[in-house]
A and B are shown apart, each in its own frame.
Chain A
Amino acid sequence: MLRFVVRRLALMVPVLVGLSILLFVWIRALPGEPARSMLGQRATPEAIERINNLYGFNDPVLQQYFTYVGRLIRGDFGESTRNGDPVVSTFFDQFPATIELSFAALLFAIVLGIPLGYWAGRRVGGWLDNVIVSTSLLGVVTPVFFLAILLKLVFAEYLDWFPTSRRSDARIEATHITNFYVLDGLITREWDAAWDAIVHLILPGIALGTIPLAIIVRITRAAVADVMGEDYVRTAYSKGLDPAIIRNRHVMRNALLPVVTTIGLQTGLLLSGAVLTESVFEIGGIGRYLFEAISQRDYPVLQAYILFIALIFSIVNLLVDVSYGVIDPRVRVS
């Protein structure tokens, strides 16, 4: 297992290096200059020139790349050209927000999706299956931001059950240690703050979680339907076991294998969706920030963030594979 993990980590290196080169070239292919973003509306050509010289934007791309790599090696990811914030520290400032959101979304998707998928998959073609499948399809085809706007309109503005935006209520005293607001609230025993953070996560979590939910429902359903037809389930029935044991030990434990993989694959989707959800709900996470970085040519942020995201993506997939090994003993040995 350890060998496997090490190997996978090692395999990530070429991908990340490739990505960093690709990104570097790509980002410099973006028209428009970071200098313009830095200087604003009425920047004079001289000022732009000075910025370009100062930051080396005029150097040959190759030279810029090596400078960049040189700094990377020293652990320096640079600073945002927009506001000078050190990229790493902003990333860690904002990342908790995105993780919290994604986690809420996944939680919603998993907690709801797996049972629904199970019920649908047990009787493929039954009325319950049809209801679940068609509802989950609706989930897939509704654009994330549209759903987000609708949820916000109905549940925050019209019904006033939930806050309209942001991660926390400014009126509630909260101490932030980790920047995971829910966690912070729990650590500091500021229960109201923790609760407030949870309440703020509900609508965005649902909006972001709906597509994963639909996907999880579908995969679970298919997996359950497949597993139900497996010989070992028939064996389990032939043993006269308690239905609950058959469901949990024999059906679900096997059906979860593809589901776990799918959950891992949702990471990319979640981050895409986070860009939109964070915009609608005004959450200061990396999604929104990254989008702004792209449109404003914030090279250092772009480079570092996309690399970080790719890294996280790979790590999540690694974790998925590892957890796969935990559930599936067949993977464990090899």
Chain B
Amino acid sequence: MTDDTIGGRGVNAPDVVRRDLSTEALLTVRDLRVEFGKKGQRPTTAVDEVTFEIRRGEHLGIVGESGSGKSVTSLAIMGLLPATGVRVSGQIMFDGEDLLAASEKRMRDVRGRDIAMIFQDPMTSLNPVVTIGTQISEVIRGHRDMGKAEANERAVELLRKVAMPDPGRRMKEYPHQLSGGMRQRVLIAIALANEPQLLIADEPTTALDVTIQAQILEILKQVVADTGTALIMITHDLGVVAGLCDSVHVMYQGRVVESAQRRPLFAEPRHPYTGGLLASVPRLDSPRGQPLKPIPGSPTDVLPWTQGCAFTPRCANRIDTCTEKTPALKIEGQRALRCFNPLTLSSAGGATP
């Protein structure tokens, strides 16, 4: 990478085909279903029928509001869901191996080496009592046969790669001595330490200010591009996805309701929820005075998927079928959609060019 793409003023050229996507899937998630339930309580289904695949080098976005199951999906892939009170079913094929069937020991090898993750809150995701250096080098040494000094060197190099100023000194510092943006860089450095094939970023910028968010996204883009790592970007910020991802999956209440390549998705959202999201978010570039069209109700107004479409109570497009049958995810060409009465092109309130 070159300095001028990140520092000062950078220009992102329109690169529609930015990456060389291999055709073979790196990760295939099929019919993932996660149920939570303590003994004696009715289990709640947090994630259901989630199916997607990601190829090497691909950037995949998962969008949805709070509680829609984005994090649970990613934790399921990492095998980090709590050991008790959870039932996971389906298939998570990673590089030909079903991770759901893998032993804990095997998962330890995979985590941090083949698949890495960045979490939402940089303030709490670093251990406050361990130096930055140790937190980076431990993941290197945990997966590679490497001496302390060598691991430290590599850590410094990683910090430099995420544009951490004065990386040598930072090694000895503790998380509280860093700002939020810098901590997120450390977390990125940790995630990329072993050049994983897949990086899952769970809302990596939500907790940050816009100017910092821009820095972080830029760094993330750079390092991922450099290493050819596939990226799953989880976010509720449609703007982030718009500039970053090749394909986008929109989740609502644990299920994917729409997935498509990003351009068609933003240009013509078909699911009323996707459309609603796009229409309800104020846009910086929209002229003042243009009213927002909120999605009515609140995320707690839901119908269980078993009784129809979960979005029905808030849906302006609902028809009687919506409460009679459960919609299935139907693939229409490049797009998958879970809706009985999708938006037509004209009614889509979303993207204005």
Contacts and interface: CB of A to CB of B under 8 A. Distances in A.
Q: State if A and B touch, Cβ cutoff 8 Å.
A: yes
Interface of A: 123, 230-242, 245, 249-250, 253-254, 257, 327-330, 333
B190 interface: yes
7 contacts: A231-B125, A235-B126, A239-B116, A239-B138, A240-B109, A330-B174, A333-B176
Interface string B239-265: 000000000000000000000000000
Contacts of A242: 108, 142
B111 interface: yes
Contact of B177 (A245, A249, A257, A333): A333
A4 B247 CA distance: 55
A18 to B, nearest CB: 35
Interface in B88-123: 107-113, 116-117, 119, 121
Contacts of B84: 123
A231 to B, nearest CB: 4
Contact of B125 (A123, A232, A249, A329): A232
A250 B116 CA distance: 18
B127 interface: yes
Interface in B131-181: 131, 134, 138-139, 142-143, 174, 176-177
A233 B119 CA distance: 11
B187 interface: yes
Nearest to A250: B127
Contacts of B143: 240
A230 B113 CA distance: 22
Interface residues of B, number: 32
A123 B83 CA distance: 10
B78 interface: yes
Contacts of A333: 176-177
A238 B127 CA distance: 13
B112 A240 contact: yes
Given A235-B127, A242-B142, A329-B129, 20 more contacts: A232-B124, A234-B119, A235-B125, A235-B187, A238-B78, A240-B107, A240-B109, A240-B139, A241-B108, A241-B139, A249-B130, A250-B130, A253-B129, A253-B130, A254-B127, A257-B129, A329-B128, A330-B128, A330-B174, A330-B176
Contacts of A327: 129
Q: Which of A123, A237, A330, A333 has the most CB of B within 10 A?
A: A237
B206 to A, nearest CB: 13
Nearest to B131: A329
B319 interface: no
Given A234-B80, A245-B138, A245-B142, A240 B127 contact: no
Given A231-B119, A245-B138, A238 B130 contact: no
A330 B104 CA distance: 34
Contacts of A231: 119, 121, 124-125
B277 to A, nearest CB: 27
B112 A329 contact: no
A238 B116 contact: yes
A26 B143 CA distance: 66
A257 B127 CA distance: 13
A211 to B, nearest CB: 28
Q: Which of B111, B121, B125 has the most CB of A within 10 A?
A: B125
